[in-house]
């Protein structure tokens, strides 16, 4: 009888310990995800960044920061790790590019120092878009920058990496390939890792690649992770990539819509035999604007690109 009581007591103690461990783990996650509510300034001039960066921002035509920029840039420039919940169109590209550029500028990064900041993007198209913004932001700086993406010339990428790329934009698969196989690629001095649209990266099957990338890169770095949704996989990636107690910033926490403020969406209903005519008319009227047209297949992209270029609507096919 006494042995049964002792066994029951031991089970109770073990259960209590397990519950306490689970509670401690849960509490640690909640504390690390605490929302930042400090007052912010929305004026780009208020940022503690160099004149070269400020001049580039002026050339881009920006004076006021978006919500995510105002809440994210100052703590990132102060060296904090950040887990940001931000949707497409919220201005998050500048939110992580400005701190990355400033980190490299303050440390006087040169080609011989290798790669100091890596931005990981889920797709080639988004990587090219980020690269374009980075190019504009770095126009007054002397730092080198580059891009490595699937489908591009790997040897040309490797040659440039060996010469020294201070700020690198990449897709996960190609980045891991260079980290593992490109001799002379210097990344030991890495200071900042930015993971953009982490939910999409994981959604399209790059979970294993991201874990390997995080393990290969130096642990003594600042990490910025942005995701429109906070899934279990995103939280797992955040745990292995961010330092303990990252700053959690969610500018869309109390909003029901998935569209960021300032973006307008619309649609047109038309007969299938008039769709191309409508597309052609729309593109002709917006030749000076940035337009992306999505099709359902690679063959459709190729066909329409050839046709539009033939009738003097210059386009670039990506598939």
Give the pLDDT confidence score for residue 304 in this predicted structure. Answer: 94
Residue 229: CB partners within 8 Å, gap ≥ 6? 85, 199
Q: Are 55 and 267 in contact (CB under 8 A)?
A: no
The end-to-end CA distance of the chain, in Å, is 73
**3-state DSSP call for residue 227?**
strand
Q: What count of Cα atoms within 13 Å lies in the side-chain half-sphere of residue 302? A: 4
Q: What is the pLDDT of residues 122-165, one digit of tens each?
A: 999 999 999 999 999 999 999 999 999 999 999 999 999 999 99
pLDDT greater at residue 198 or residue 30: 198
Q: How far is CA 93 from the centre of its chain?
A: 7
Tell the burial category of 124 from Cβ atoms under 10 Å away from its Cβ (0-12, 13-18, 19+). Answer: middle
Cα–Cα distance, 319 to 316 (Å, whole number)? 10
Domains and CATH numbers, the chain: 44-250 (3.40.50.300), 272-310 (no CATH)
Q: What is the pLDDT of residues 255-308, one digit of tens each?
A: 555 555 567 788 889 998 999 999 999 999 999 888 999 998 999 999 999 999
Other CB atoms closer than 10 Å to residue 208's CB: what's the count?
Answer: 10
Give the pLDDT confidence score for residue 22 in this predicted structure. Answer: 46
Q: Which helix (H) or strand (E) holds 85?
A: strand 82-85
Cα–Cα distance, 245 to 29 (Å, whole number)? 8
Cα–Cα distance, 168 to 47 (Å, whole number)? 24
Residue with tokens 């900041």: 117
Q: Are 67 and 90 in contact (CB under 8 A)?
A: yes
pLDDT greater at residue 243 or residue 319: 243
**Comparing C-alpha atoms, which of 273, 269, 276, 266 is closest to residue 300?**
276
- Over range 205-233, report the average pLDDT: 92
Q: What is the pLDDT of residues 14-27, one digit of tens each?
A: 555 445 444 444 43
Give the Å distances, CA to CA, from 42 to 51, 69, 84, 98.
18, 8, 18, 15
Cα–Cα distance, 135 to 145 (Å, whole number)? 8
pLDDT averaged over every residue in the chain: 86
**Comparing C-alpha atoms, which of 84, 288, 282, 108 is closest to residue 194?**
84
Cα–Cα distance, 177 to 148 (Å, whole number)? 10
**3-state DSSP call for residue 137?**
helix
List the single range of 18-27, 74-83, 111-120 with lowest mean pLDDT.
18-27
Cα–Cα distance, 107 to 118 (Å, whole number)? 16
Tell the burial category of 176 from Cβ atoms under 10 Å away from its Cβ (0-12, 13-18, 19+). Answer: buried
Give the pLDDT confidence score for residue 57 in this predicted structure. Answer: 95
Assign 13 a pLDDT band (cuts: 50, 70, 90): very low
Retrieve residue 282's tokens.
Answer: 């729309």
Q: What are phi and psi of 220, to 5 degrees?
A: -85, 80
Cα–Cα distance, 214 to 272 (Å, whole number)? 47
Whether 85 has a pLDDT exceeding 80, the answer reads yes
pLDDT greater at residue 114 or residue 272: 114
Cα–Cα distance, 293 to 256 (Å, whole number)? 27
| Sheet of 192-195, strands arranged across | 145-148, 167-170, 117-120, 192-195, 222-227, 82-85, 247-250
Retrieve residue 87's tokens.
Answer: 């949707």
Whether 254 has a pLDDT exceeding 80, the answer reads no
Retrieve residue 252's tokens.
Answer: 């869309």
């Amino acid at each position: 009888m006494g042995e049964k009581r002792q066994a029951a007591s031991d089970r109770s103690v073990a259960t209590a310990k397990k519950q306490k461990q689970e509670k401690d783990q849960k509490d640690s996650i909640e504390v690390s995800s605490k929302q930042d509510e400090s007052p912010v300034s929305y004026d780009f001039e208020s940022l503690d960044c160099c004149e070269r960066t400020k001049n580039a921002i002026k050339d881009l035509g920006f004076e006021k920061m978006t919500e995510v920029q105002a809440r994210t840039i100052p703590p990132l420039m102060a060296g904090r790790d950040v887990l940001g919940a931000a949707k497409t169109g919220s201005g998050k590209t500048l939110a992580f590019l400005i701190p990355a550029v400033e980190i490299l500028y303050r440390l006087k990064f040169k080609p011989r120092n290798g790669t100091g900041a890596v931005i990981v993007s889920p797709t080639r198209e988004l990587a090219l878009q980020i690269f374009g913004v980075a190019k504009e932001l770095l126009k007054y700086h002397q730092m080198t920058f580059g891009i490595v993406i699937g489908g591009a010339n790997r040897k040309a990428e490797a040659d440039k990496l060996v010469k020294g790329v201070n700020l690198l934009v990449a897709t996960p698969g190609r980045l891991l390939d260079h980290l593992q196989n490109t001799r002379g690629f210097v990344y030991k001095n890495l200071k900042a890792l930015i993971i953009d649209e982490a939910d999409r990266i994981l959604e399209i099957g790059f979970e294993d690649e991201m874990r390997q990338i995080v393990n290969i890169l130096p642990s003594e770095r600042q990490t910025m992770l942005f995701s429109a949704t906070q899934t279990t996989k995103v939280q797992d990636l955040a745990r292995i990539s961010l330092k303990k107690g990252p700053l959690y910033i969610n500018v869309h926490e109390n909003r029901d819509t998935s569209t960021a403020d300032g973006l307008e969406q619309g649609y047109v209903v038309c007969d299938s035999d008039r769709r191309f005519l409508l597309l052609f008319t729309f593109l002709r009227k917006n030749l000076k604007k940035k337009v992306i047209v999505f099709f359902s297949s690679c063959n459709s992209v190729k066909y329409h690109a050839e046709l539009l270029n033939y009738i003097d609507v210059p386009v670039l096919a990506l598939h």
